[in-house]
Amino acid sequence: MGKELRFPPGFLWGTATSSHQVEGYNCNNDWWEWEREPGHIRDGSTSGAACDWWNRAEEDLKTAAEMGQNAHRFSVEWSRIEPQEGEWDEKALARYRRMVEFMHQVGLKPMITLHHFTNPRWLAEKGGWENREVLPRFERYVAKVVETLGDLCDLWCTINEPNVYAYQSYGAGIWPPQKHSLRLVFRVLRNMAEAHTIAYHTIHRLQPEAQVGLAYNMRIFDPANPSSPLDRSIAKLLDYLFNRLFLKAVTEGKLAFPLGQGEVIEKMADTVDFSGVNYYVRDLVAFDITRPGSFFARRFATPGAEKGPGDWGEFYPEGLYRLVRQLTVYGKPIYITENGCPDNTDEKRPRFLINHLVALWRAIQEGAPVKGYFFWTLVDNFEWAEGWSRRFGLIALDVKTQRRTMRYSGEIYARICKANAIPGEVL
Ligand code: GCO
């Protein structure tokens, strides 16, 4: 048994969710239709009622608060509040207001994500994120949300994981609109960087005191053989393309190659008030001449290391320490906007959670300005193309009955949140 590891006073402890994955019956977005076509979702499932959050959010939020959490990250579903272009669903907006009011009632500070992978169908039909017309449309939507909820929230993530969205939807083509073109990946990323910039300024115009950032997915890429210059170069390239290129744009204000040709974009510089990072895994990277389509990279987990199913990657708690240390150079407050693991039986999650928090604690001891941690996720939810086959919750969900069962990892997290520390006996 070790000595307890304390976190700074006022540290935010939460969980993260996203609208389509939890609310249920989001039938006006691009995922809803796509899920129905055979072959798209691994287990043939659909989001359906999801966690029935549209009706049960309060029940789950109450549980989160009882677990000692004091914050919650969630997303607003664009297709719910603007089901047809330019037509607002005031009832849906009022529902979000009630949800956020409830968060305050039970002591959860809200962090709102404005775009988390799904798009209104009308937007997708007009070319979605490929089409620059998305920019004024996103601006109008963001303004509407901030006008409606701004008095209740001052922590905003504009876009969740632009890098993952662009790659899965336009590169790997395993998410709608299922395209395979690197050219489109970079076009979408450019549009997202501009949309982020516009959202940043729109939010600040309406709410000068707001804290605006992104929830940005970062992965550790280490050379499989550190003494091989080729492995090292490929690992560095992936790190640059995936982890740095987009953040460079929104901090330095210019589109470096291959996002652009180095052009400076007006008002894009310094448009993050905090660094939000979603961290899950590491990949070892080896040069592989047979894989030109994957930047000549073969990616795998350290032999013998704990990893997720399929191509999920290696669980590597030290990576959280390393990323937080890297982000410290931006000089902004840091939030871990997501961290978690696919584990249907909860065998690995308790250790995963504790080890990542120990790594985070170490970074904080060394001066990293980390202000909060959001575990992905509270209740098992609809895992995109993996459907219900991969479970991420601290609480297990029986999808048919909507019954919730607290997992052991949930009990551990509750002890940590309540103590604002990792208690010695769990170390
Ligand atoms: C993400 C996603 C979540 C996923 C989680 C597990 O931002 O990557 O926000 O939607 O469910 O990451 O894969």
CA 15 vs. chain centroid, Å, equals 11
Centre of ligand 1 to C-alpha 4, Å, is: 30
Q: Which atom of ligand 1 is nearest to the CA of 376?
A: 5
Rg of the Cα atoms in the chain: 20
Q: Is 192 left (phi over 0), alpha (psi -120 to 50) or beta?
A: alpha
Q: Is 18 in the pocket of ligand 1 (CB under 6 A)?
A: yes
Please answer whether residues 381 and 50 qualify as being in contact, where contact means their C-beta atoms are separated by less than 8 angstroms.
Answer: yes
Pick from 161, 163, 175 the residue to mutate for probing ligand 1's pocket: most ligand atoms within 8 Å of its CB.
161
Distance CA 358, CA 198 (A): 37
Residue nearest to atom 4 of ligand 1 (CA): 383
Residues 35-91 have pLDDT tens digits of 999 999 999 999 999 999 999 999 999 999 999 999 999 999 999 999 999 999 999
> Which tens digit of pLDDT belongs to each residue from 344-374?
999 999 999 999 999 999 999 999 999 999 9
Average pLDDT over residues 186-190: 98
Q: In this predicted structure, what is the pLDDT of residue 1?
A: 66
- Ligand 1 pocket check: which of 278, 311, 315 to mutate, most ligand atoms within 8 Å of Cβ? 278
96: Cβ contacts below 8 Å, ≥ 6 apart: 76, 81, 145, 148, 149
Tokens for 305, please give them: 């290391």
**Which pair of tokens denotes residue 25?**
């019956």
Confidence (pTM):
0.98
Q: Using CA atoms, how far apart are residues 285 and 351, in angstroms rounded to an integer?
A: 25
Q: Where are the domains of the chain?
A: 5-218+337-421
Q: Indicate whether residue 343 lines ligand 1 (CB < 6 A).
A: no
Q: Mutual orientation of helices 90-105 and 134-149 as an angle, nearest 10°?
A: 50
Please name the residue whose Cα sits nearest to atom 11 of ligand 1.
383
The CA distance from 422 to 358, in Å, is 8
Residue from 415, 301, 394 nearest 343 by CA? 394
Burial string for 90-129 (b: 16+ CB within 10 Å, else e) reads eebbebbeebbebbeebebbbbbbbbbbbbbbbbbeeebb
Residue in 15, 17, 18 to alter for ligand 1 test, most ligand atoms within 8 A of Cβ: 18
Q: Of 121, 116, 115, 118, which Cα lies nearest the Cα of 84?
A: 121
Q: Which two tokens stand for residue 351?
A: 């250790």
pLDDT one-digit tens code per residue, 93-152 = 999 999 999 999 999 999 999 999 999 999 999 999 999 999 999 999 999 999 999 999
383 lines ligand 1 (CB under 6 A): yes
Q: Is the beta carbon of 15 within 6 A of some atom in ligand 1?
A: no
* Residue 74 CB–ligand 1 contact under 6 Å: no
Q: In whole angstroms, what is the distance from residue 375 CA to residue 72 CA? A: 10
Ligand 1 atom nearest to CA at 160 = 7
Instruction: Retrieve residue 65's tokens.
Output: 């608060």
299-344, pLDDT tens digit by residue? 999 999 999 998 899 999 999 999 999 999 999 999 999 999 999 9
The CATH number of the structural domain formed by 5-218+337-421 is 3.20.20.80
Give the ligand 1 atom nearest the CA of 381: 11
Using the mean position of ligand 1's atoms as its centre, give its distance from the Cα of residue 174 in Å: 15
Going by C-alpha positions, the residue among 278, 212, 216 that lies closest to residue 16 is: 278
